[in-house]
A and B are shown apart, each in its own frame.
Chain A
Amino acid sequence: MTHIAPLPREAILDPELNALMAEAAALGVPDDLFPRIVARAPEQAVPLMRALLMSHAHGSVDHKLKEVIRILLARFANDKYFASLRSAKARAMGLTEQRIDDGCGSYEDDAKGFSAAEKCALRYADLMFLDAGQIDKAFYDEMKRYWSEAQIMELGAFIAFHYGMQMFMRSLGAKAAP
């Protein structure tokens, strides 16, 4: 039970929010707890849900990599809710729990099989809220060896938004989905 009760599913009448919730249900991230909570702030609910879905499941960066990054951030944020959710799309693309655990812990280990580009993106997420001072011009220059500037913005915005929403859900005491 969260500190703030989510709205009942049937109380959400906005067709746009319902469509986004259906898209999220197919993806598996988020489940309906997040939109039922943010629906309490109706002006924010649709843009928040759209940004959450767009940044995660769309764009030019590999969705499997973004799923690993999302879970890495949720574990770092100690957000049990988002950390428990899994993208069905990423799973269908071949992402395994072992790969997720490797990406969250030992991605720098060459034996784990992450490419230099993936390691750099994972390091970006790792450092963003641990030691942002290390993400300097030299770090961005290294990122540019593997990623276009558009992809770097896609990754950065994705990392920033998902971490922010994870900290928000943690503050409400949201727990792992059963």
Chain B
Amino acid sequence: MLDEGIDNYAASERFTDAEKVALRYSELMAVNPDAVDAAFIDELRRHYSDDEIVELGAFIGFNLGYHTFFGTLKFYPLFSPDGRLVSQAESEKIYGAAPASLGKAEAAE
């Protein structure tokens, strides 16, 4: 479901309309912020309160900034998907160049 939410949420039947518009908010803020206009906020309001939109927006902004920063540092999770403490070299193989969700990493093992 994580992969589907990243790669295919718009066409997926596993996400509600509310979830899809929240995912679109996160995507647009990063790649096409001009599309986040009054009409888009009105669409968000069909599913979320103004307070929830603020909560979502601040969360997305925070993650947008920090994931880019962390990406430049090239550090990786301390634990493998099965809970083993792993070296950064091994972690990079699991989570690195082609970012893999936990599901994909588990499937590859």
Residues on A lying within 8 angstroms of B by beta carbon are 3-5, 37-38, 40-41, 44, 48, 77-78, 128-129, 132, 135-137, 139-140, 156-157, 159-173
Contacts and interface: CB of A to CB of B under 8 A. Distances in A.
B63 A164 contact: yes
B61 A40 contact: no
Interface residues of B, number: 30
A167 to B, nearest CB: 5
B11 interface: no
Contacts of A48: 58, 62
A68 to B, nearest CB: 18
Contacts of B102: none
Contact of B41 (A3, A38, A137, A165): A3
A67 B72 CA distance: 22
B60 interface: yes
A171 B70 CA distance: 23
Given A159-B69, A161-B65, A167-B61, 13 more contacts: A41-B51, A41-B55, A48-B62, A157-B66, A160-B68, A163-B64, A164-B65, A165-B58, A167-B29, A167-B65, A168-B57, A168-B60, A173-B38
Interface of B: 25, 29-30, 33, 36-38, 41, 50-51, 53-55, 57-66, 68-74
7 contacts: A78-B33, A132-B72, A156-B73, A161-B66, A163-B64, A165-B61, A165-B65
Nearest to A6: B54
Contacts, number: 95
Contacts of A139: 72
B41 A172 contact: yes
B54 A38 contact: yes
B23 to A, nearest CB: 14
Nearest to A73: B65
Contacts of A5: 50
A168 B68 contact: no
A83 to B, nearest CB: 14
Nearest to B56: A41
B58 A160 contact: no
A136 B37 CA distance: 34
B35 to A, nearest CB: 10
A148 B55 CA distance: 35
Contacts of B73: 156
